[in-house]
A and B are shown apart, each in its own frame.
Chain A
Amino acid sequence: MIKGTRILMNEEAKQYTDIINKIRDCLHQF
């Protein structure tokens, strides 16, 4: 791996997808 890249796993990966899903849900009224 090179500097400035990361592996997201477990809790961090879950938070990442949860946040994206939450924001996407906001678009229903858009």
Chain B
Amino acid sequence: MPSIYDLNTFSKKTSEELENQIFKIQSKNDNDYCLIPEVTGILQEKFNKNWFFEYKKKPLKLFYVNRCYRYETPQKGRYREFTQFGVEILGGNQPELYKTEIDNLVTDILNLFPDLKYNINPNVKRGLGYYTEEGFEVECQNLGAQKQIIGGGRYKEGIGFAIGIDRLILALNS
């Protein structure tokens, strides 16, 4: 995914908290730009604009590995530039099946790391504006304040989650 976007790409669909964390870029003209703070919102927009039309299979299953940027106060597990590994299921007409697939995939991924100590919170209100119901989070207590390593949930176009790779590595090494 590109790193640079028009500022208004994100400001409408994200939470106030995330909007305050968007890494803005001063441009030489009147356009306001920013660095990508998260990927799911972009994929929703592309899906709604039929950008994936050549993929006939439904639902559309995607994964991404992307650098994201947020203007936050740096601390342990909170970087201004970080990597998200995300998975999304977009479209289709079997939302319950997709939820099960996502849950199973998260379990498979967590099982890759037998030494990782974590808790799964299956019902949590998430910070981003596009979620249509409570989502889920995976937390590692040994990370301290920034303990969430996976977060996801259902939104209008589908369901998905993202893994914070930097935090996962911190949790594995601590």
Q: Which residues of A contact B (CB under 8 A)?
A: 2-6, 12, 15-16, 19-20, 22-24, 26-27, 29-30
Interface of B is mostly: mixed
A12 to B169 alpha-carbon distance, docked (Å): 9
| One of B81, B105, B112, B169 near A15 (C-beta < 8 A) | B169
A26 to B101 alpha-carbon distance, docked (Å): 12
* Partner-contacting stretch, out of B24-32, B72-80, B119-127, B151-159: B72-80
Residues of A within 8 A of B168 (CB): 19
Q: Is B65 an interface residue (CB 8 A)?
A: yes
A19 to B63 alpha-carbon distance, docked (Å): 15
Interface of A is mostly: helix
Q: Is B165 an interface residue (CB 8 A)?
A: yes
Chain B 78-113 residues near chain A, CB threshold 8 A? 78-81, 83, 85, 87, 101, 105, 108-109, 112
Q: Which residues of B contact A (CB under 8 A)?
A: 61, 63, 65, 72, 74, 78-81, 83, 85, 87, 101, 105, 108-109, 112, 163, 165, 168-169, 172-173
Q: Establish whether residues A20 and B85, one from each chain, have CB atoms under 8 Å apart when the complex forms.
A: yes
Residues of B within 8 A of A19 (CB): 165, 168-169, 172
A29 to B168 alpha-carbon distance, docked (Å): 22
A12 to B170 alpha-carbon distance, docked (Å): 10
Known: A4-B74, A30-B87. A16 touches B79 (CB 8 A): no
A19 to B163 alpha-carbon distance, docked (Å): 11
A30 to B108 alpha-carbon distance, docked (Å): 10
B174, chain A: closest CB distance, angstroms: 13
